[in-house]
Amino acid sequence: QSVLTQPPSASGTPGQRVTISCSGSSSNIGSNTVNWYQQLPGTAPKLLIYSNNQRPSGVPDRFSGSKSGASASLAISGLQSDDEADYYCAAWDDSMNGPHWVFGGGTKLTVL
């Protein structure tokens, strides 16, 4: 059971806009920023969005992130076949047990 909750799957057709949600709590998303990672099959995760809504250089502006309260979302517009991947959200958690990074369980995006 992951600390951050993501839907296990999402899908869309080429050209569509899809969103992936990430739900947390006051100790993680509610008080810290969110990062998003894309993991293509058989490869290491790649940074997609950092600090809620910042795109690293090289990431198309089709990808955007937002955060509201203890939840965050990743939006992908103009869906393409090579967007088919697993997507993970991550945030720092100021837990009483000791601060640590937490990840969502991942969302498998299928391009139909």
Partner 1 sequence: QLHLQESGPGLVTPSETLSLTCTVSGGSISGSSYYWGWIRQPPGKGLEWIGSIYYSGSTYYKPSLKSRVTISLDTSKTQFSLKLSSVTAADTALYYCARLSPYTSSSLFSYYFDYWGQGTLVTVSS
Give residues in contact with partner 1 (CB under 8 A).
2, 32-33, 35, 37, 43-47, 50-52, 54, 56, 88, 90, 92, 95, 97-106
CA distance 92 to 27: 8
The distance of closest approach from Cβ of residue 14 to partner 1 in the complex, given in angstroms and rounded to an integer, is 26
Which CB, 69 or 99, lies closer to partner 1?
99
Residue 4 β-bridge partners: 104
Which CB, 15 or 69, lies closer to partner 1?
69
The distance of closest approach from Cβ of residue 2 to partner 1 in the complex, given in angstroms and rounded to an integer, is 6
Which CB, 14 or 22, lies closer to partner 1?
22
Which CB, 11 or 54, lies closer to partner 1?
54
Residue 41: count of CB within 10 angstroms of its CB: 7
Give ∠ CA 27-106-54 in degrees, rounded to 5.
Answer: 65
CA distance 27 to 75: 24
The distance of closest approach from Cβ of residue 79 to partner 1 in the complex, given in angstroms and rounded to an integer, is 22
55 contacts: CB under 8 Å, gap ≥ 6: 48, 49, 61, 63, 64
